[in-house]
Structure 1
Amino acid sequence: MERLLVLVRHGQSEWNLKNLFTGWKDPDLTEQGVAEATDAGKKLKELNMEFDLAYTSALTRAQHTLKIILEQLGQEGLPTERDQALNERDYGDLTGMNKDEAREKFGEEQVHIWRRSFDVPPPGGESLKMTAERTLPYYKEHILPKVIEGNRVIVAAHGNSLRSLIMELEGLTPEQILARELGTGKPVVYRLDENGKVLSVQDLAD
């Protein structure tokens, strides 16, 4: 029995393009983001992948990415669960601010701490640790049991919500996961054993 879990970060969004902190705001994909999602679907199709279930966040850019991928696979009607537990981390007071302007206002070192520390949240927002505290329980309750049952599952979400899952799947330290870059629209393919442990990982960004 194949236990397949594919994680994919949404394609480039309008606010990615403008270099803005996005968080829970809801911009759609750019033309490049649509192309990235299309490419992700084509790569999965080349591997003859089909899915039984899909999960995504409550945000348009992740849902649109999933829709495009499923169109490429000819699986438009796939059962899909949407939940804000898979949303991007909330950037609080930084939301909507240009990242360069934030560095000018707060200082490069402070912005770097907010973006790249594990447990220091920006004002009014979430740290990666706090993001994991909502993402991982959802994964363990809703997604992992379905994979263990033998369902082939795809999750389209966000850089930091997916980092939370990858940290759990690969047993990474906070330092290791913070150094992990996830390209937009680049699927990561996991095959799991009957206990949910990773047997193999294939990054389709390579």
Structure 2
Amino acid sequence: MFKFLRGKLSNFFVKSNRLVLVRHGESEFNLKNLFCGWHDTPLSEGGLQQSRTIAAAKLLEAKIGFDKVYCSALGRSRQSADVILAEMKSSYLPVVLDWRLNERHYGNLTGSNKRQVADAYGEQQVQAWRRGYDEIPPPIEPSNSYYYAILNNLAFRNIPVGQFPLSESMHMCVDRVKPIWEEIKKEVLQGKRVLIVAHGTVARALVQHIEDLSNEDIVKVNVPNCVPIVYEFDLRTGDLIGNSTYLGDAQYIENMKDKVAAIGD
């Protein structure tokens, strides 16, 4: 009788697991309104504060725990993750650094002020480089101040030959992220509670894969720094349950999305 009841009751419950996606805190280049991409800039003081008082605070408030963390090979991603985990008293968790979660490579725009580039090339062209799906910025050249620092970054030493980009479109970034996302999703569906701390364009690429958004829809998506995005998956079917949930004040989140979308000063 007990086995029969247990079997009947199980039909009323969907076994699920959550995944959390966080864009790292404000970086020094974000603060200065510079194209960053693969340059390894650290978080600003504001970014460290965001990691503590927005990302970690909201995750603690929601009582969400983790078993594993994924970051890019860029320091600002790991830096945010370290602060979040420290605040959550979870610094013991395994952290995987994977170059496929690196921010989109902005080519020769790297290090340039977005407003100054807009003044030189026009806002329409800059927004095409920033938000267009297939628009590729000019490839980075040896004359760029950050060229050699990027190419010689030891964190990138495991990138396979022929896969080191000199510039990327949003589409290229989406394709680069797909294999690592499939690996992460497999772990999530096995019951592992995963936190991904990534970058603006990579977060959007992951959102496209997770929510199965069209190319037209994803270009309208903006992800604010350090606001956790929570997804829930049905472990039996692998399907997404409901919509994403942004943890935080709704008005603040909308204001930050608008700020991300703008070219800035």
Q: Same fold (TM over 0.5)?
A: yes
Q: CA shift at 1:32, angstroms? A: 0.9
Tell me the distance in 2 between the aligned counterparts of 1:133 and 1:171.
Answer: 13
| SS at 1:51 equivalent | coil
Once structures 1 and 2 are overlaid, which stretch shifts more, 182-191 or 100-109?
100-109
Q: CA shift at 1:89, angstroms? A: 0.2
1:128 and 2:170 equivalent?
A: yes
| Contact 1:6 1:155 survives alignment (8 Å) | yes
Which structure 2 residue ranges, 5 or more long, are not aligned?
A: 1-14, 140-166, 251-265
Tell me the distance in 2 between the aligned counterparts of 1:198 and 1:174.
Answer: 19
The 3 A distance-change label for structure 1 pair 4 and 46 is same
Q: CA shift at 1:2, angstroms? A: 3.4
| Contact 1:169 1:197 survives alignment (8 Å) | no
* Structure 2 residue corresponding to 1:38, chosen from 52, 61, 73: 52
| SS at 2:241 equivalent | strand
Matches within 5 A, 1:165-184: 165-184=206-225
1:190 and 2:228 equivalent?
A: no
| SS at 1:3 equivalent | strand
Tell me the distance in 2 between the aligned counterparts of 1:126 and 1:136.
Answer: 15
Larger Rg: 2
- TM (norm. structure 2) is 0.75
The CA deviation string for residues 71-91 of structure 1, in whole angstroms up to 9 with x for no partner, is 111100101110110010000
Q: CA shift at 1:196, angstroms? A: 3.0
| SS at 1:55 equivalent | strand
The CA deviation string for residues 54-98 of structure 1, in whole angstroms up to 9 with x for no partner, is 100011111011111111111001011101100100000100000
Tell me the distance in 2 between the aligned counterparts of 1:2 and 1:61.
Answer: 31
- TM (norm. structure 1) is 0.96
Matches within 5 A, 1:101-180: 101-124=116-139, 125-140=167-182, 142-180=183-221
Matches within 5 A, 1:12-31: 12-31=26-45
| SS at 2:203 equivalent | helix
Q: What is the identity percentage for the equivalent residue pairs of Structure 1 and Structure 2?
A: 40
1:64 aligns with 79
* Cα RMSD, aligned residues only: 1.1
Counterpart residue type for residue 187 of structure 1:
P
Number of residues of Structure 1 aligned to a counterpart in Structure 2: 205
The CA deviation string for residues 92-142 of structure 1, in whole angstroms up to 9 with x for no partner, is 0100000011112222221111111101111111111000111111111x2
